[in-house]
């Protein structure tokens, strides 16, 4: 299985205990990525009795397989936010993500966070038109920017760049390890290898695969794709994509971190870890679980690194899976009116480093009774199902198609334990992937990513 640069260069591993006895707490958090850890830190720092459960090892999921960009420049987003919501909502989104960046800067050291300018670049006339539309949105919102010509760092033809200066990039695992230490110091109890087997939101308890139970007053689900997605119909409102990343050794670190607004679509940055610099290229995307021959994506991205970015010393390759909502903004808040004590945090649309901390601040503020100006914008209850009916039909249709087609075409593939779809073998990552809702399983059948909570039956 491929390994990410971040997991390979993490701080020495600090193992957290397993749950051995029945427990209780005020706030139970499911999911040990940056989102869950940030919630644990914010709430424990304010006196809440917090337990966090991670089914594997903390930070080994989406966080450990990200690009490491910590910025409020989330591709082409602000012009669309103004159009879909309004100007004030776009400002709230920017401010929430900038505040997350400033929080990270306040606790991280140089081994965990480095300043970098964020730049969108265009390669075509159409791309430049899109860039100018985004520039106009920056002006309306009041986002400081610089409009420049070609991207001088990049060894291929570009046209224009739209830059936000003094953003950041982090080593997501080292940063998460630091935050986990701060959370435990504040009193949070973190547990690893704690697989949730059953969840009863009416009686406020979870049962683990070890048969131990944990009772809670409030629950936060930060498990990438919510276990309880059906209740708030998030199962119809989340799409899941997989993208690919490769890292090569370099001797020329960039001052900017780049993302293309047009094709070929690339995300490019450098990082320096313990004196060694790396060039990271993220590209190649498809619907999660939809392809078997995934090695071709690794082959393409490594060839791109060698041919177009002129770096051949490729050390690491990995992939990431990202849910997205239909309207660009993540879900962070109470899952539904019927369950005001159950919160979800998901749908970061490949921008989970800033959005996970912004979402954690929103949820922790709600739990302690503090107003957060972005809470309505991020609320899972904000979406009107009628307005999203076409999108819901698309996702539901894909699920039904994969469910039926998988049982006909892939009769030898194991059945996903989430909702019964046939999985597909992912040759590149050596995993069983579910095309319906993005669950992933290791070769031995154990759960790698949810929403599934039970292992595959490989017998």
The model's pLDDT over 411-453, given as tens digits with 9 standing for 90+, comes to 567 888 876 777 888 877 788 888 776 788 888 888 887 778 7
Rounded to whole angstroms, the Cα distance separating 104 from 168 reads 9
Is 23 buried (19+), middle (13-18) or exposed (0-12) by CB count in 10 A? middle
Q: E strand or H helix at 107, and its extent? A: helix 87-107
Neighbour count for residue 76 (Cβ, 10 Å) = 19
Q: For 36, how many CA atoms within 13 A lie in the half-sphere containing its CB?
A: 34
Residue 287: per-residue pLDDT = 62
Residue 411: per-residue pLDDT = 54
Neighbour count for residue 300 (Cβ, 10 Å) = 14
pLDDT tens per residue, range 269-301: 999 999 999 999 998 665 655 556 678 888 889
How far is C-alpha 160 from the chain's CA centre?
A: 28
Helices (H), 156-262: 172-185
Q: Which two tokens stand for residue 454?
A: 């039970």
Residue 425: per-residue pLDDT = 85
**Which among 366, 324, 359 is positioned nearest to 46, based on CA atoms?**
366
pLDDT along the chain (459 residues), means of 10: 89 94 97 96 98 94 89 97 96 98 97 96 97 98 97 94 97 98 98 87 87 96 60 52 88 94 94 96 68 75 92 91 82 84 87 95 98 95 47 40 40 74 80 79 84 80
Characterize the bridge pairing of strands 113-122 and 160-170: antiparallel
Q: Which residues pair with 189 in a beta bridge?
A: 51
pTM: 0.83
Residue 383: per-residue pLDDT = 64
Rounded to whole angstroms, the Cα distance separating 267 from 269 reads 7
Rounded to whole angstroms, the Cα distance separating 254 from 258 reads 10
How far is C-alpha 142 from the chain's CA centre?
A: 27
Residue 450: per-residue pLDDT = 72
How far is C-alpha 399 from the chain's CA centre?
A: 22
Phi-psi region of 150 (alpha: psi -120 to 50; beta: other; left: phi over 0): beta
How far is C-alpha 188 from the chain's CA centre?
A: 23
Residue 293: per-residue pLDDT = 64
**Which among 373, 389, 450 is positioned nearest to 416, based on CA atoms?**
450
CA dihedral 58, 421, 331, 138 (to 10 degrees): 100
Average pLDDT across the chain, whole number? 86
Residue 455: per-residue pLDDT = 86
**Which among 285, 57, 41 is positioned nearest to 178, based on CA atoms?**
41
Fold of 385-449: Rieske Iron-sulfur Protein (2.102.10)
Residue 285: per-residue pLDDT = 60
Rounded to whole angstroms, the Cα distance separating 22 from 216 reads 11
- Unique residue bearing structure tokens 């276990």: 227
Residue 159: per-residue pLDDT = 97
- Residue 396 near residue 385 (C-beta atoms within 8 A): no
């Amino acid at each position: 299985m491929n390994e990410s640069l971040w997991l390979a260069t993490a701080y020495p591993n600090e193992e957290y205990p397993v749950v051995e006895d029945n427990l209780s707490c005020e706030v139970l958090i499911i999911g040990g990525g940056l989102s869950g850890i940030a919630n644990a830190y914010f709430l424990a720092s304010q006196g809440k009795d917090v337990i966090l459960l991670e089914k594997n090892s903390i930070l080994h999921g989406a966080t450990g397989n990200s690009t490491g960009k910590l910025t409020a420049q989330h591709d082409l987003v602000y012009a669309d936010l103004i159009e879909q919501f309004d100007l004030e909502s776009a400002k709230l989104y920017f401010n929430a993500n900038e505040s997350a960046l400033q929080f990270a800067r306040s606790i991280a050291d140089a081994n965990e966070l480095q300043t970098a300018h964020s730049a969108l670049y265009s390669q075509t006339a159409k791309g430049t038109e899109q860039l100018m539309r985004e520039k106009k949105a920056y002006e309306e919102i009041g986002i400081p920017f610089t409009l420049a010509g070609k991207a001088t760092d990049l060894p291929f033809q570009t046209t224009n760049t739209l830059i936000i200066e003094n953003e950041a990039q982090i080593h997501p695992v080292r940063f998460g390890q630091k935050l986990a230490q701060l959370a435990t110091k504040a009193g949070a109890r973190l547990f690893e290898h704690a697989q949730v087997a059953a969840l009863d939101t009416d009686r406020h308890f979870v049962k683990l695969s070890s048969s131990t139970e944990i009772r809670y007053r409030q629950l936060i689900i930060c498990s990438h794709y919510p276990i309880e997605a059906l209740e708030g119909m998030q199962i119809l409102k989340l799409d899941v994509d997989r993208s690919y990343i490769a890292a090569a050794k370099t001797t020329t670190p960039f001052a900017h971190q780049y993302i293309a607004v047009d094709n070929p679509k690339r995300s490019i940055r450098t990082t320096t870890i313990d004196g060694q610099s790396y060039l990271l290229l993220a590209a190649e995307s498809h619907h999660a679980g939809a392809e078997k021959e995934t090695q071709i994506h690794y082959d393409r991205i490594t060839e791109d690194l060698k041919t177009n970015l002129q770096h051949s010393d490729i050390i690491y390759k990995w992939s990431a899976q990202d849910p997205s909502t239909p309207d660009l903004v993540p879900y962070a808040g109470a899952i539904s009116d019927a369950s005001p004590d159950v919160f979800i945090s998901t749908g970061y649309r490949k921008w989970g480093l800033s959005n996970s901390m912004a979402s954690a601040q929103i949820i922790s503020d709600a739990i302690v009774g503090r107003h957060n100006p972005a809470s309505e914008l991020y609320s899972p209850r904000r979406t009107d199902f009628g307005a999203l009916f076409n999108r819901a039909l698309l996702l539901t249709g894909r699920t039904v198609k994969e469910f039926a087609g998988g049982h006909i075409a892939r009769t030898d593939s194991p059945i996903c334990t989430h909702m019964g779809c046939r999985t597909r073998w992912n040759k590149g990552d050596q995993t069983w992937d579910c095309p319906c809702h993005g669950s992933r399983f290791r070769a031995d059948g154990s759960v790698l990513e949810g929403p599934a909570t039970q292992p595959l039956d490989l017998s």
